[in-house]
């Protein structure tokens, strides 16, 4: 692997961060134990490859897909339901789709009442909720407008058999899903017509691919939402 493709985990960036209420400690869940206690802190580069295990070994039994998250059908009430179920929960498992939301949620609840940090945390939480609900609503409505209420979910969430390509027309896919101005075609159709495709919204990558596979235009759907 090339050096530029390697992400270096900087221990001090987390333990000494202002947002870390437990200085010098790293946890994997609210009120959890220090999972990196006793882990050697390497502060210099090495050209050798060393594979070693440290921390809480109980996580070895966890299923990776639990943390990666799935791609549930577009559901405008997903975020509000998730917040209701997790406001006071210290669940061990958090899908990567919901990691940011959980962080902002606990940051808000943990900030002192009436403080500037409380206000800032509230804004971050509301912004995250707004982006997520916008993505869920937009994809759901686009699917209904393009394929009808009964077929929308089936078409958008269709999974091709193993061995088949995710998408037939990559130019269509890149044009729809692009979030930057690097495309040679209509730049970022979803972002331009429907708003920014957030990190959470990228769970609908397969849905965007299926729109291309169906030979229809998301631009028409976005225009009608």
* Domain assignment of residue 113, given as a range: 64-225
Question: What pLDDT sits at residue 17?
Answer: 79
- Taking alpha carbons only, the member of 172, 201, 168, 169 closest to residue 186 is 172
My answer on whether 95 and 189 are in the same domain is: yes
CATH number for position 97: 1.10.132.130
Per-residue pLDDT tens digits for 107-162 = 998 999 999 999 999 999 999 999 888 888 888 888 998 899 999 999 998 999 98
Question: What pLDDT sits at residue 187?
Answer: 41
My answer on whether 107 and 197 are in the same domain is: yes
Q: Give the other-Cβ count within 10 Å of 5's Cβ.
A: 6
Residues in the chain with pLDDT values less than 50: 6-8, 180-187
* Residue where a domain stops, chosen among 22, 39, 61: 61
Question: What pLDDT sits at residue 185?
Answer: 40
Give the number of residues written for the chain: 225
Question: What pLDDT sits at residue 23?
Answer: 81
My answer on whether 84 and 169 are in the same domain is: yes
pTM of this prediction?
Answer: 0.59
How buried is residue 199: exposed, middle or buried, by Cβ count under 10 Å (0-12/13-18/19+)? Answer: middle
Rounded mean pLDDT of the chain? 74
Question: What pLDDT sits at residue 139?
Answer: 87
My answer on whether 161 and 180 are in the same domain is: yes
């Amino acid at each position: 692997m090339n050096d530029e493709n390697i992400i270096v985990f900087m221990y001090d960036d987390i333990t000494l961060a202002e947002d870390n209420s437990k200085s010098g400690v790293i946890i994997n869940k609210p009120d959890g134990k220090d999972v990196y206690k006793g882990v050697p802190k390497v502060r210099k580069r090495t050209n050798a490859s060393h594979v070693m295990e440290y921390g809480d070994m109980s996580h070895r039994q966890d299923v990776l897909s639990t943390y990666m998250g799935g791609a549930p059908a577009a559901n405008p009430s997903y975020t509000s339901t998730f917040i209701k179920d997790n406001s006071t929960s210290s669940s061990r498992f958090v899908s990567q789709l919901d990691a940011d939301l959980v962080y902002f949620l606990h940051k808000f609840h943990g900030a002192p009442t009436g403080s500037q940090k409380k206000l800032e945390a509230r804004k971050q939480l509301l912004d995250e909720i707004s982006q997520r609900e916008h993505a869920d609503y937009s994809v759901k409505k686009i699917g209904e407008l393009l394929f009808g209420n009964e077929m929308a979910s089936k078409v958008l969430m269709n999974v091709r058999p193993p061995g088949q390509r995710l998408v037939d027309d990559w130019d269509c896919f890149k044009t729809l899903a692009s979030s930057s101005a690097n495309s040679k075609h209509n730049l970022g159709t979803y972002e331009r017509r429907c708003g920014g495709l957030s990190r959470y919204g990228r769970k609908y990558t397969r849905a965007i691919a299926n729109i291309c596979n169906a030979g229809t235009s998301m631009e028409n759907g976005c225009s009608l939402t």
